[in-house]
Amino acid sequence: MNDIDHSLFRRLDLNLLVAFDALVSEASVTRAAARLCIGQPAMSHALARLRELFNDDILYREGSAMLPTGRARSLAPAVRELLLSARSLALGEASFDPARINEQFQIALNDPLEALLLPALMARLRARAPGLQLSVRPIPASRQLEELDAGTIRLAVGHFPRVRAVHEQTALYEAGFCCVFNPALITLKDQPSLADLTGLPHIHTSYTGDGPGMIDRALHRRGLRRQVVAHAATPLSIPFVVKQSPLVAVLPELVTRLFTTHRDLTILPLHEEDLRLPISVVIHRRDTSDPLTGFMRETLLEIAHSVLTPAS
């Protein structure tokens, strides 16, 4: 059953109600025009149309002042509520409440980022969106954007040096690099350089993909090479390896945060300007206006700010 006569809306322009709100709020054609960033003649024309629409003066002159009529004052709250509802409808504000969400949300995080971010993220989600079921997918970094395109995941967190036009990328954190070793088996000075590490055997992790990584490219720029004698599938096994073997590992500072309980290991930062690892959140542009995706992205940004940013 259609209970709306749409033909009645042919005379109604939403912009007229915006003009009405400004005119009644400012009680001045000049100030209302400035508020809406239009010329005074255009605002005067809008006032004339409003007078015709409502069969009322809307504003009347008393001395040097313009005052809203009694009918304009009575209409003003309803017009304001209608404009706020229209804004909420356009921006998706009215329909989204995290506390009422009851669905699954898929994201991709590598092992170290999951260990760092997931505890605080789950605590925040249980408090703000208890009906949300979070699913962290074990997708290799090299395939995360592909899975994002396919819709298998709705958000990815990691290092993405090349995104396409269909992706929306938001910076999360920029990590430096550290070297990790057992000082009982290896001797290094307190502020080692990459060159200092080339004479030592390395353990490397290929969890971000095959081929030369950021460390090897940085060494190549310096005309250097390192000797990699072991490859680990995940960086989380590395502290247990270097405890027992005279090997050194060069890893992002975010990863080495997970090793601080290994008190018999030494973790030293590398002060190399070209060794920086940007971490970002990526969503697909089809989800730019999706309120749940936006909520998850903003929540991750809040978590990263509190968890990853070093204390001052």
Residue 3 domain-assigned? no
Q: Residue 1's pLDDT is what?
A: 43
Instruction: Compute the distance between CA of residue 110 and CA of residue 143 in angstroms, rounded to an integer.
Output: 12
Instruction: Compute the distance between CA of residue 7 and CA of residue 293 in angstroms, rounded to an integer.
Output: 38
Q: Residue 152's pLDDT is what?
A: 93
Average pLDDT, stretch 159-177? Answer: 92
Residue 1 domain-assigned? no
Instruction: Compute the distance between CA of residue 124 and CA of residue 134 in angstroms, rounded to an integer.
Output: 12
Write down which residue in 91, 108, 139 finishes a domain.
Answer: 91
Residues 144, 282, single domain; the answer is yes
CATH of the domain at 282: 3.40.190.10
Q: Which residues have C-beta within 8 Å of that of residue 243, sequence separation ≥ 6?
A: 182, 262, 264, 265
Residue 15 domain-assigned? yes
Residues 186, 246, single domain; the answer is yes
**Least confident range of 83-87, 107-111, 235-239:** 83-87
Structural domain boundaries, residue 46: 8-91
Q: Residue 301's pLDDT is what?
A: 92
Residues 268, 287, single domain; the answer is no
Residues 164, 282, single domain; the answer is yes
Residues 127, 45, single domain; the answer is no
58: left (phi > 0), else alpha (psi -120 to 50), else beta?
A: left
Residues 71-81 pLDDT 10s: 999 999 888 88
> Is 248's pLDDT higher than 80?
yes
Cβ 103 vs Cβ 135: under 8 Å: no
Cβ 79 vs Cβ 21: under 8 Å: yes
Residues 191, 226, single domain; the answer is yes
Residue 134 domain-assigned? yes
pTM: 0.66
**Mean pLDDT for the chain?**
88
Residues 197, 268, single domain; the answer is yes
Q: Residue 47's pLDDT is what?
A: 92
Q: Residue 10's pLDDT is what?
A: 60
Residues 140, 270, single domain; the answer is no
Q: How many domains does the chain have?
A: 3
Residue 2 domain-assigned? no
Q: Residue 85's pLDDT is what?
A: 76
Cβ 151 vs Cβ 283: under 8 Å: no
Residues 166, 282, single domain; the answer is yes
Instruction: With cut-offs at 50, 70 and 90, classify the pLDDT of residue 130.
Output: very high
CATH of the domain at 17: 1.10.10.10
Share of the chain above pLDDT 90, in %: 56
> Is 228's pLDDT higher than 60?
yes
Cβ 277 vs Cβ 235: under 8 Å: no
Residue 61 domain-assigned? yes
CA distances 88 to 69, 84, 93, 114, 129, Å, are: 29, 6, 5, 34, 21
Q: Within 10 Å of residue 218's Cβ, how many Cβ atoms?
A: 18
Residues 23-70 pLDDT 10s: 998 889 998 888 888 888 999 999 999 998 889 999 998 888 889 999
Q: Residue 311's pLDDT is what?
A: 45
Residues 142, 210, single domain; the answer is no
Instruction: With cut-offs at 50, 70 and 90, classify the pLDDT of residue 92.
Output: low
Residue 157 domain-assigned? yes
Instruction: With cut-offs at 50, 70 and 90, classify the pLDDT of residue 214.
Output: confident
Average pLDDT, stretch 199-223? Answer: 81
Q: Residue 269's pLDDT is what?
A: 94
Residues 300, 261, single domain; the answer is no
Residue 126 domain-assigned? yes
Instruction: Compute the distance between CA of residue 30 and CA of residue 37 in angstroms, rounded to an integer.
Output: 10
Instruction: Compute the distance between CA of residue 264 and CA of residue 50 in angstroms, rounded to an integer.
Output: 79
Q: Which residues have C-beta within 8 Å of that of residue 292, sequence separation ≥ 6?
A: 96, 101, 103, 105
Q: Residue 293's pLDDT is what?
A: 94
Residues 282, 153, single domain; the answer is yes
